[in-house]
Chains A and B, each alone.
Chain A
Amino acid sequence: MADKKEAAGKKGFSLLGLVGPIQFVMGILLAFIGGALFLWIFRENVAEAYGALFKGAFGSKRYIGEALLSTTPLIFSGLAVALGFRSGLFNMGVEGQLVFGGMVAAYIGYAWDLPRVIHLPLALLGGAVVAGLWGSISGYLKAYHNIHEVITTLLMNYIAFAIADYMIAVGGPMKADNELPVSPDVLESARLVRLWEGTRVSSGILIAIFFAIVVWFFIYKTRIGYKMRAVGFNAAAAEYAGINPKTMTVLAMALSGALGGLAGAVEVLGVHYKFYAAFSPGYGWDGIAVALLGLLNPFGVIAAAFLFGVLRSGSITMQAIAGISKNVVSILIALVIFFSATNKTLEPILKRLLGGIGSGKELELNTEQEGDR
């Protein structure tokens, strides 16, 4: 046992950081193999289908743009779920928070006339804050009344949807002056700029990546992030150390909600320039899958969101060119999630292999990867 002691000071180079990415890629590969099996069973041409899917995602500038377009809100919703999980909370309410975020951002965007440098940040911030407050209600109920957040976040989605419908229904406070159930157009000064000529990609993607870095930094480097993780892993131990688990729970739900709100805000301010009920095709729900596939790591979330963006955008072309239902992509997404979950079982083996290569000696297995510091 003495040799273990000596190892304590040394830091060999480690390949353990590769465990996550390997799992990620393996999940995707296995999903595509499984998807091929489904296509084969349904007597579809596998090569044609995947070819069309790939073409639909990367075939032209516009297609790539569409993939990145979906990636943007998915990064935010994935971050929202991941941050919740890191604090021991399962935020099922991202879709509702997203709708709120979009709604408030749109309101600030059309109702207030401000210079650009203030208007755009304020619209984003407003969406985040209101969605954060909305989310913190679930945090409060969890912390002080012990009502499970899965139930409250899930059900509050439907309240959010109903409020949103009311806002733009006939006679609603945000209804535009026309026949459609939409809000007025957001002023130019509150719109995200187009980033790439010939596509709809806005600067929202940069904001999303920036926030992924911020969230990573927040979770792993700040005092509050540390406390949230402590509460998430073991609230009793956190309490013992003098951290208030109740405060952290409310705060974590608020921040998670705020990220969900940003997903809606960037979507409204970057793509639609107005608010309407169905502006999100389920980005909030997909956030759960994105977070899990990204192994709850903010950088993993970026990769997972991009994958989902690609699948989403490719599926449209696949349906158009190859005549294969885009539901195949739903199957693929389900398989990706399934295999990334089952890949967890390979984690100890991967760690042993990579740990052995890196340090020249066996590392003891640890079940949780703590950041990549």
Chain B
Amino acid sequence: MKPAVEMRNIVKQFPGVLANDHISLTVEKGEIHGLLGENGAGKTTLMSILSGMSVPDEGEILLNGTPIQFGNCEDAIKQGIGMVHQHFMLVPVFTVAENIVLGNEPHKGLQLDIDQARTMVNRLSSHYGLKVDPDSVIRDISVGSQQRVEILKVLSRDAKIIILDEPTAVLTPQEVEEFYIVMRALREAGNTIIFITHKLQEIQEITDRTTVLRDGKVVGTVNTKDADNERLARMMVGRDVVLHVKKEEHQAGKVELRVENLFAKDARGLPAVKDISFEVRAGEVVGIAGVAGNGQNELVEVITGLRKQESGKIYLGDRDISKMTTRERIYAGLAHVPQDRQRRGLVMDFTLVDNFLLGYEDSPPFIEGPMINYREAERFSERSIEMFDVRTPGAHVTARTLSGGNQQKMIVAREFQRNPTVLIAAQPTRGLDIAATEFVHEELIELRAQDKAVLLISMELTEILDLSDRILVIYEGEIVGSMKANEATPEKLGLLMAGG
């Protein structure tokens, strides 16, 4: 049988980067084929070539043994190739059915035939087991449902080859489980799936075969069941990777952060943090596990002074900081790696120098009277770039031009050098690839070794289990469980996280 997709010697050059360097990829009919690689390895570029969005400089593409040439997405869709993007392309105020037929609307005269659209959606939905309500409005449904809509949209165009670009990045753990079921159903129905990811766990869970890319080249294609995580990670990064950071035994010291009976409301004015109390000691990592949206955000914002508490106290060492401004808390020794690095952590249109300066702009040695000492700021930037291995063409480009991993390294570099007594790290590795994750984890453990108190908030159980000395579980704004890390298991935590 001819392979469903064969890409031969694909070359794609972007200014300054050879994104695809003679890549060859063969995907068999009816398989789930993983495309694994670090950020910037060329996965998305390769798939946008396959889906007709960009034209390769060299190389050829064969579908079922027949050479094809795409000028645009329409051609690719006609050949049965559909791509679901990482960021959904749905109209938020339209219904599910309207979104699915958009661009391909059944009509009665000039009017949209919504009944026919609904029927089609229901038929597809039950055929593939993708549960959606055709009449729900997109903005009202969960991210997981929105993704199902995207997939149905692709299926409605008779796609036989479905490309999924990091589909799990936006999903909660429960939604990921459902998503696996959908992928298997699609495979049962005879579709070919190409699954882009940089998460090893997902590769193991769902793919039949996996092609690993690194720096625009193919490292190899393996049968997934023959490859373990360590081997895949090595192929991906090009060296041995510490998947689970090793931490030395370390004696916790005095209490550095103490939160007492904290209450806070969310943006809609509903209670989000309900009577939370805990402490973090010097040289200790305390992890807060929980499903996203259970009050973690509000908790971090209250501690850092970005949100007002309703009641309760926060102590940094012996000092009551609950009435202090954000700036005063920073000066008192609190540092914060925010969950949303692009919205909170960086000014994307600032240069790296200006970004490294954030929060230091009123402190020596960066000031000269009312002015900023840019020579000192530049020196600090160069040093941070060097020390934390931020990959950038220079300190004077904007933060926007860096990859997510390098942006995070900038934030980590800036916050760690405040020499805080307490560091709050909120989802510090979200969206980062393996090498960057390893880096952040090692840095956090290094802080612990320096007798800093670290509060880690994460949705990733493995991260919580690997790094923490003690684990708290948050559910609907309350701490529902507290245990030593060596007593915790994923099952135990999972149950608590679900409110059990």
Chain A residues proximal to chain B, CB less than 8 Å: 1, 4-5, 7-11, 221-224, 226-227, 229-230, 233-234, 236-244, 352, 361-368, 370, 373
Contact = CB atoms under 8 A, between A and B. Distances in A.
A-B complex: 3 closest residue pairs judged by Cβ atoms: A242-B327, A362-B16, A366-B398
A223 B366 CA distance: 10
Interface stretch (B55-63, B111-119, B348-356): B348-356
Given A240-B344, A242-B359, A368-B398, A8 B385 contact: yes
Interface string B382-419: 10011001011111111011000000000000000000
B393 to A, nearest CB: 5
Given A226-B354, A239-B326, A242-B325, A8 B393 contact: yes
Given A233-B348, A242-B325, A363-B393, 14 more contacts: A1-B391, A4-B392, A9-B382, A227-B361, A233-B349, A236-B343, A238-B347, A240-B344, A241-B326, A242-B328, A352-B15, A362-B15, A370-B396, A370-B398
Given A4-B393, A242-B325, A367 B398 contact: yes
B306 interface: yes
Given A8-B385, A242-B330, A230 B372 contact: no
A366 B326 contact: no
B469 to A, nearest CB: 27
B338 A240 contact: yes
25 contacts: A5-B389, A5-B391, A9-B382, A221-B372, A222-B371, A223-B367, A229-B347, A230-B354, A233-B347, A234-B346, A236-B344, A238-B358, A239-B326, A240-B306, A240-B336, A241-B326, A242-B305, A242-B326, A242-B329, A244-B325, A352-B15, A361-B16, A364-B401, A370-B354, A370-B398
A224 B391 CA distance: 30
Nearest to A12: B394
A239 B358 CA distance: 10
Nearest to A2: B391
Interface residues of B, number: 49
Contact of A8 (B326, B354, B394): B394
B371 A223 contact: yes
A146 to B, nearest CB: 13
Contacts of A365: 401
A239 B348 CA distance: 15
Contacts of B306: 239-240
Contacts of A226: 354, 357, 361, 372
A364 B393 contact: yes
Nearest to B348: A234
Contacts of A237: 343-347, 358
B70 interface: no
B140 interface: no
B374 interface: yes
